[in-house]
Structure 1
Amino acid sequence: MTPDETGALVLALLAAGVIAAAWGWTPAGRSIWPPASLAVLAAALATAVPAELEGETPVAVGMALAGLLAVAGGGPVTAWVFAFVDRQGGTGAQSMQQAEKVLRGGAWIGGLERAAVAASLLAGWPEGVAISLALKGLGRYPELRNQENTGTAERFIIGTFTSVLWASACAGVVLLAT
C-alpha cells in the first residue's frame, strides 16, 4: 500500500469508529459497540504510523472525524468501563453506583472535556488539556469534597482518565498520520 492509500484507510477507520460509537449510545449496543469502536480506534492508530495525510482536505477530514469519534465514542466507552468496574462487586460497587447520582451531568461534561482535549491536541496546544482538566476538577470540587462516599471520587477519576485517554488516542491518529 502506498502512503496515500494508507491515509485513506485511516480516514475510513475513523469513519467506521464514528459509526460504531453512534451505535454505542443505543440500549442494545452498549455492550457490543464500545469494544468495537475501541478495536477500530486501535486499528486506526496502528495504520496511522505508516500513513500520510497530505493536503488540507484529508487533514481537515481526519481532524473532524477524530473530533467526532472523541466526543461520540468516549461516552459509551466510559460507560462500558464503569459497567466493568461495577461488575467487580465488593463493597465499592454500591458506592460507585451511588456516585452517579452525585455527579450529575457527567455525560455532557465528559463530551465537552473530550472535545476540548482533542481540539487542544490537534491544534498543537497541549496546555489546553491541563486547563480543561483543571476547570473540570475545580467545577466538581464541591461535590467531591462533601462526600463521605469514596466511590464518588473514584468514579470521577476513572471517568476522567478514560475520557482523556480516549480523546488523546483519537487525536493521536491524525497526529501520527500527518
Structure 2
Amino acid sequence: MSAVALALLVVATVLGGLAVRRVEVGRVPRSRVLVGVRGDRRRGTVTAVVLVVLVAAAAGAAWAGDPATPWLRSTVALAAVAAAGLGGGPVVTAVLAAADPGRAVASVGKPPGTGPGAAGGLAGGAAGVADPDVLRGGAWIGVLERLALTATLLLGWPEGVPVVLAVKGLGRFAELKETPAAERFIIGTLTSVLWAGACAGVAVLAAR
C-alpha cells in the first residue's frame, strides 16, 4: 500500500506543478489588466479539492499498508516533499479565495495610486486577501516555504519550522503594515504549514 501512497503523491505533485505552470503561463504584463473569471476560480477550487483528496487517500493507503522497505520509504519521503511544495499552491489560493469571496476577482497591473494602500483600492473596492497583487511573489515563496517545512519535519528537526516562518516574516515585515497583506500572510502561512504537515505525515505513516 505504500506504493499506492507513492503513486498518489506523484499524481498530486504533477497536478500541482501543472497548476503552477498554468498560472505562470497565464501571466500578463503589468501594463495590462488581468481579470479573474468565475470559471477560473471554480477550476482552482476543484483542483484544490482533488489535491486534498489525493493526499488524504495517500495517508490512508500508507496507514493501512505494511511498513515500507527502506528504498520505498525514501522515495515516499521525496514524493511527499515534492507534493508539499508544488501541490500546496492551489490549496492556498483556494483558501484565500474562500476567505475573501467578494474580491476573488481582482485586477492586476493597476495604474499608480490604485494599489492596496491607496484610496479607492482595486476597481470595485479596496484590496482584499484574495487580490493576487497583495504580497506579490508569494506563490514561489510558498513553494520554497513548504519544501523547507516538510524537509525539516521529515529530518526530525521540528525546531526548523519556526526558523523558516521567521525568515519569511522578516522578508515580508515592511509589507505587513497593510491589513490585507497581514491577513493574506497569516492565512497563507497557516495553510502552507498544515499542507506541509499533511504531506510529511504520509511519509511518516509509510515509514512506521
User: How would you bin the TM-score normalised by the shorter chain?
Assistant: 0.7 to 0.9
What secondary structure is seen at the aligned counterpart in 1 of 2:64? coil
Q: Tell me the percent identity.
A: 43
Quote the residue 2:175 is aligned against.
143
Alignment counterpart, residue 87 of structure 1, candidates 89, 101, 104: 101
Quote the residue 1:174 is aligned against.
203
Give the structure with the larger helix fraction: 1
User: How far 1:87 sits from its partner (Å)?
Assistant: 1.3
User: How far 1:134 sits from its partner (Å)?
Assistant: 1.1
Q: Which is higher, the Rg of structure 1 or of structure 2?
A: 2
Deviations 1:31-80 (A, max 9, x none): 32221011111111222223234333201210111111001111111111
Q: Say yes or no: does 1:73 pair with 2:73.
A: no
Compare 134-143 and 20-29 and name the one that shifted more: 20-29
> 2 CA distance for matches of 1:40 and 1:23?
15
Q: Which amino acid aligns with 1:82?
A: L
Q: Which amino acid aligns with 1:69?
A: A
Task: Output the TM-score relative to the length of structure 1.
Answer: 0.84
Quote the residue 2:120 is aligned against.
none
Q: Say yes or no: does 1:133 pair with 2:165.
A: yes
> 2 CA distance for matches of 1:9 and 1:165?
22
Contact 1:50–1:177 (8 Å) recurs in 2: no
Q: How does 1:56-67 map to 2 (within 5 A)?
A: 56-67=70-81
Alignment counterpart, residue 51 of structure 1, candidates 59, 65, 73: 65
Instruction: List, as ranges, runs of 4+ consecutive aligned residues in structure 1 with deviation greater than 6 Å.
Output: none
Alignment counterpart, residue 21 of structure 1, candidates 5, 8, 16: 16
Quote the residue 1:160 is aligned against.
189
Relative to 1, partners in 2 of residues 1:169 and 1:86: Cα closer, same or farther, differing over 3 Å?
same
Q: Which runs of 5+ in 1 are unaligned?
A: 1-5
Task: Output the TM-score relative to the length of structure 2.
Answer: 0.73
Quote the residue 1:3 is aligned against.
none
Contact 1:18–1:65 (8 Å) recurs in 2: yes
Quote the residue 1:37 is aligned against.
51
Q: Say yes or no: does 1:119 pair with 2:171.
A: no
Q: Which runs of 5+ in 2 are unaligned?
A: 24-39, 104-124
Q: Which amino acid aligns with 1:119?
A: A
Q: CA RMSD for the aligned pairs?
A: 2.1
Relative to 1, partners in 2 of residues 1:98 and 1:70: Cα closer, same or farther, differing over 3 Å?
closer
Aligned residues: 167
> 2 CA distance for matches of 1:75 and 1:129?
18
